[in-house]
Amino acid sequence: MKNIHEILQHHFGYKAFRLNQQEVIENVLAKKDSIVLMPTGGGKSLCYQVPALALDGLTVVVSPLIALMKDQVDALRLSGVGAAFLNSTQSSFEQATITQQIRDNELKLLYVAPERLIGPNGMFSFLKQINVSLFAIDEAHCISHWGHDFRPEYVELGQLKKEFPLVPLIALTATADKLTKKDIIDKLALVSFSVFENSFNRPNISYFIQPKKNHFEALIQYIKQHKEDSGIIYCLSRASTESLAEKLQQQGFDAAAYHYHAGLERNLREKRQENFLRDDLKIIVATIAFGMGINKSNVRYVVHADLPKNIEGYYQETGRAGRDGLPSEAILFYSNADVFKLKSFAKIDGNLAQSNIMLKKLDQMAALCETAMCRRKYLLNYFDEAAPDYCGNCDTCLSEKEKTDHTIEAQKLLSAVSRLNQRFGLNYVIDFLRGSSTCKPEHQPLKTYSIGKDISKERWKAMAKELLQLQYLQQSDGEYPVLQLNEKSMQILKGELTVMLTKSASTSIQPAQQQYAIQEDVHEDLLRILKATRYQLANEENVPAFQIFSDATLVELSTYLPLTNTDLAKISGFGDIKLAKYGNSFLDAILDYCVANELATKINSKIPKRQRKAAADEKTTDTKMASLQLFKQGKPVAEIAAIRNFSAGTIEGHLAHFVFTGQVDINEIVPKEKMQTIINAVEKNGNLIETGPVKQLLGETYSYGEIKAVISFMRRMKEG
């Protein structure tokens, strides 16, 4: 079995695993089943892609959408991994070719939709003839009717464990509450398994929710401040996506609508998606159908012009922002009218139970918008995760609403609920408190009737909602929820608990004013140049730009200014394949920029962001040492490169390092007759940093590796 750290570095360019990726991978490699809950952007797919490469045989990945499969397969191929997908859009010849590739052991990963895998024309008999190493089920929440995205064809996946009891299975999702999680386990018929849960928190996303009033102006204002950025704006209906896109175009913005509709034909839809992926189109105005298959890492903002139907949807859609880990924003415009409109959609004919689930989810969505507590805390609590009261990165935390003692009001409200035997809803309880004549005659003589008439209906509502969110009071499920008391309510009624509530709920929320600061020391001009370089490479390869490198990688490059291949290897995202393929293009651009601006590299100030720094450093040294050992055995660079599956440039970089430390004699790498010419050229160029201009002076007969080694040698002489 191959080393998982080497796979990670070689194919994906990361120095260390994140979150609990490594534990998950080790569990998979031990042939055990795993349930993985990991936030979007947390590196879910590596949890099965790395084992796929470590294990002998084929990993079958079940994925709900064709676009998603294509995206993943393209990205894997760029990283030098044999991957393919099978689906109905392919000709029978294409499908036969892929089947043959599988038989010839040329593929490590195969992506399929559940309906292609299972059923009368399924693949079970074929898969039984070959060596399947792992089943990975992506977007596993689709299997549960408790989830927001239930897909009946996913339920059939329960057969996998019966048909292939010895093949390990991994199910992954980024959105699942407690019920959904349990349902995934039941439906997949897992017996012995481990659950790996990560925090759902997306710390780089700022949440802003504001009333839907003059929201078009607010939106324009916001986009103006983010002209260079990619963003997605979600609307509820196709008609509103089209009218909003048109309005934005009239204002001079680079926007287009996207939705599934016969009126927007497939070619045009695909073209828009492609343009957006490639940064040729800045803004997509979409129905929620958009984005499921989109894995664009540099979406900087997601706006909801209309209310999403549930928290899962909202979290998944906002989660499309900032997958590269850079600061990003989620903005939602909220109105009660939207809640009302969505209530009618939430009802499913002839299925009361399912309707009630959907209605409850809608209520919880509305409650997020009305909450006076930290939005992030609310969201995380929704996914059964504890969170601090203050995140400092959402509108409620940033608006610093003042809280005061409202124990008396809370007691009035709770005793009203009690007097009414916990059998009435919010509106009736408030009418009762305010002494409305519409209350039932038998209620009017009760003691608490009209004890709250000095406070407006709106204010009572706001306080009640805050009490609900603080869980000082609860509400039953279903279409007509009633208020109910809980343990905390009893404590308040007995005077054992002080209730602090927001002074006034009518605080208006401004959209984020601050431009996101990417990183303090980033050279913005260089970043623009590197984006252009990436754009060009992407066009040559015919893939989206972010698949070449994420924005985060470019930000690191423009911050730490790596000038050699060795430096580049320290940048996240530069695996060996990509280093060999694209390294020089980026090095050239960075060198030119550093020369023009008289800058030196800052690579030594780069502190590995990933955890396990020690392990990572050790590993870098290990890989260099491995090259050194082979070199000491008398093998030429080209042979070492072939043995280690690295480029010759990388090996030369490794060896240059040991020239500097003195473990390798310069003459072992560079012939004596070449030495002086290289030294002359380096001196002519005037610094001990750049290799590019020296190479230009010297021409074809001198390699980058030789130049690098001589520069290391000269540095050693100078410093030693």
Binding site for Zn ion (CB under 5 A): 374, 376, 391, 394, 397
Task: Please say which residue, 300 or 376, places its beta carbon nearer to Zn ion.
Answer: 376
Q: Smallest gap, in angstroms, from Cβ of residue 387 to Zn ion?
A: 9
Task: Please say which residue, 320 or 376, places its beta carbon nearer to Zn ion.
Answer: 376
Task: Return d(Cα 193, Cα 195) in angstroms, integer.
Answer: 7
Task: Please say which residue, 368 or 374, places its beta carbon nearer to Zn ion.
Answer: 374
Q: Which secondary structure element, helix H or strand E, spans residue 484, and what is its range? A: strand 483-484
Task: Return d(Cα 69, Cα 43) in angstroms, integer.
Answer: 16
Which amino acid type is present at position 381?
N
Task: Please say which residue, 470 or 497, places its beta carbon nearer to Zn ion.
Answer: 470
Task: Return d(Cα 717, Cα 714) in angstroms, integer.
Answer: 5
Task: Return d(Cα 538, Cα 533) in angstroms, integer.
Answer: 9
Q: Smallest gap, in angstroms, from Cβ of residue 371 to Zn ion?
A: 10
Task: Please say which residue, 397 or 681, places its beta carbon nearer to Zn ion.
Answer: 397
Task: Please say which residue, 216 or 390, places its beta carbon nearer to Zn ion.
Answer: 390
Q: Smallest gap, in angstroms, from Cβ of residue 394 to Zn ion?
A: 3
Long-range CB contacts for residues 392-398, cutoff 8 Å, separation at least 24: 393/203, 393/205, 393/206, 393/207, 394/206, 394/207, 394/208, 395/207, 395/208, 395/209, 395/210, 395/509, 396/371, 396/372
Task: Please say which residue, 74 or 329, places its beta carbon nearer to Zn ion.
Answer: 329
Q: Which secondary structure element, helix H or strand E, spans residue 255, and what is its range? A: strand 255-258
Task: Please say which residue, 394 or 594, places its beta carbon nearer to Zn ion.
Answer: 394
Q: Which two tokens stand for residue 333?
A: 């415009």
Q: Smallest gap, in angstroms, from Cβ of residue 502 to Zn ion?
A: 14
As to burial, measured by CB atoms within 10 angstroms (0-12 exposed, 13-18 middle, 19+ buried), residue 661 is exposed
As to burial, measured by CB atoms within 10 angstroms (0-12 exposed, 13-18 middle, 19+ buried), residue 399 is middle
Q: Smallest gap, in angstroms, from Cβ of residue 206 to Zn ion?
A: 9
Task: Return d(Cα 292, Cα 269) in angstroms, integer.
Answer: 14
Q: Smallest gap, in angstroms, from Cβ of residue 203 to Zn ion?
A: 11
Q: Smallest gap, in angstroms, from Cβ of residue 397 to Zn ion?
A: 3
Task: Please say which residue, 256 or 391, places its beta carbon nearer to Zn ion.
Answer: 391
Task: Please say which residue, 246 or 370, places its beta carbon nearer to Zn ion.
Answer: 370
Q: Which secondary structure element, helix H or strand E, spans residue 101, and what is its range? A: helix 92-103
Residues 6 or more apart in contact with residue 677 via CB below 8 angstroms: 698, 702
Task: Please say which residue, 399 or 422, places its beta carbon nearer to Zn ion.
Answer: 399
Residue 297: closest CA among 75, 15, 530, 581: 75
Q: Which two tokens stand for residue 234?
A: 């979600």
Q: Smallest gap, in angstroms, from Cβ of residue 651 to Zn ion?
A: 49
Q: What is the DSSP letter of 517?
A: P
Helix 375-382 and helix 352-370: axis angle, to 10°?
Answer: 160
CB 170 within 8 A of CB 136: yes
CB 46 within 8 A of CB 30: no
Task: Please say which residue, 150 or 516, places its beta carbon nearer to Zn ion.
Answer: 516
Q: Smallest gap, in angstroms, from Cβ of residue 374 to Zn ion?
A: 3
**What is the SS3 assignment for 211?**
strand
Task: Return d(Cα 242, Cα 416) in angstroms, integer.
Answer: 48
CB 325 within 8 A of CB 609: no
Q: Smallest gap, in angstroms, from Cβ of residue 631 to Zn ion?
A: 54
Q: Which residues of 121-131 are buried (b: 16+ CB within 10 A; e: fewer)?
A: ebbeeebeebe
Task: Please say which residue, 374 or 637, places its beta carbon nearer to Zn ion.
Answer: 374
Q: Smallest gap, in angstroms, from Cβ of residue 505 to Zn ion?
A: 17
Which residue, chain included where needed, has tokens 């690191």?
Answer: 556
Task: Please say which residue, 397 or 545, places its beta carbon nearer to Zn ion.
Answer: 397
Q: What share of the chain is helix, strand, coil (3-state, %, to 5)?
A: 50, 10, 40
β pairing state of 58-62 and 132-137: parallel
Q: Smallest gap, in angstroms, from Cβ of residue 427 to Zn ion?
A: 29
Phi then psi for residue 120, to 5 deg, are -55, -40
Task: Please say which residue, 223 or 374, places its beta carbon nearer to Zn ion.
Answer: 374
Longest dimension (CA), the chain: 109
Phi then psi for residue 709, to 5 deg, are -65, -40
Q: Smallest gap, in angstroms, from Cβ of residue 364 to Zn ion?
A: 17
Q: Smallest gap, in angstroms, from Cβ of residue 9 to Zn ion?
A: 36
Q: Smallest gap, in angstroms, from Cβ of residue 552 to Zn ion?
A: 24
Q: What is the DSSP letter of 305?
A: S
User: Following CA atoms 210, 478, 184, 145 in sequence, which dihedral angle do they give, to the nearest 10 degrees?
Assistant: -90
Distances (CA, A) of 606 to 265, 555, 594: 48, 12, 17
Task: Please say which residue, 295 or 396, places its beta carbon nearer to Zn ion.
Answer: 396
Residue 636: closest CA among 713, 574, 693, 703: 703
Q: Smallest gap, in angstroms, from Cβ of residue 311 to Zn ion?
A: 16
Task: Please say which residue, 372 or 707, places its beta carbon nearer to Zn ion.
Answer: 372
Q: Smallest gap, in angstroms, from Cβ of residue 392 to Zn ion?
A: 6
